[in-house]
Amino acid sequence: GLKKKEVNVLCLGLDNSGKTTIINQLKPPNHSNHLGPLSEEWKHVSQTQAQEIVPTIGFNIEKFKSSSLSFTVFDMSGQSRYRNLWEHYYKESHAIIFVIDSSDKLRMVVAKEELDTLLNHEDIRSKRIPVLFFANKIDLQDAMSSVKVSQMLCLENIKDKPWHICASNAIKGEGLQEGLDWLQDQIA
């Protein structure tokens, strides 16, 4: 039969921005959700557990399939001590998801520095790969709008790559589909 196109997606951004939470939302539902009707109380417990995500050490690899594509997602740790791992995966990546904590005003300049370093890297600079930004945690009281995040990161300066920014609430899964639909269109 037809083989699905293999796509490597690199998920980057500072620690605590919500990368792993986003990727977990993309996974097919846990089979325990299909065991039959759960009482409301148990539903609540299983949802809460699904949200208990620990900081990533190094990176994790997750695989997903859509109707036409087979995705391998590299969920990198955003902690400063692991950020030097990112560049090892630039060459083989076909798309980048860059996650920002919209409420973390103090570290927006750090996020911009990391983004600029990424975009200026020799393995990325010359590639026309799509970059999807999630302005995540928009549910938080002091979150900035995606327009404001986009301004702070100077995204309008990205001229040589297709890019798109979506506001998201990864805990509820809001905004994720819109972003992924865009990414799929770019790759397909």
Q: Does 16 bind ligand GTP (CB under 6 A)?
A: yes
Q: Does 102 bind Mg ion (CB under 5 A)?
A: no
Q: Does 108 bind ligand GTP (CB under 6 A)?
A: no
Report helix angle 19-26 to 176-187, nearest 10. Answer: 80
39: CB partners within 8 A, 6+ apart: none
Picked from ligand GTP, Mg ion, none, the partner binding residue 150 (CB below 5 to 8 A depending on kind) is none
- Of 17 and 67, the one with the shorter C-beta distance to ligand GTP is 17
Binding residues for ligand GTP restricted to 26-65, rule: CB under 6 A:
51, 53, 55-56
Report in angstroms how near the CB of residue 75 gets to Mg ion at its nearest: 6
Q: Where are the alpha helices (DSSP H) in 14-168?
A: 19-26, 40-51, 108-120, 122-125, 146-152
Q: Which of 18, 115, 153, 167 binds ligand GTP (CB under 6 A)?
A: 18
Picked from Mg ion, ligand GTP, none, the partner binding residue 51 (CB below 5 to 8 A depending on kind) is ligand GTP
Instruction: Pick the closest to residue 9 from 60, 54, 79 (CA basis).
Output: 60
Site string for Mg ion, 43-72 (x = CB under 5 A): -------------x----------------
147: CB partners within 8 A, 6+ apart: none
Kindly state the number of chain residues that form the binding site for Mg ion, as judged by CB under 5 A. 3
When computed from its CA atoms, the radius of gyration of the chain, rounded to whole angstroms, is 17
Picked from Mg ion, ligand GTP, none, the partner binding residue 136 (CB below 5 to 8 A depending on kind) is ligand GTP
Cβ(173)–Cβ(25) below 8 Å: yes
Cα 129 from chain centroid (whole Å): 15
Return d(Cα 45, Cα 178) in angstroms, integer. Answer: 28
Residues at the site binding ligand GTP, with contacts judged by CB under 6 A: 13, 15-21, 51, 53, 55-56, 77-79, 99, 136-137, 139-140, 169-171
Residues at the site binding Mg ion, with contacts judged by CB under 5 A: 19-20, 56
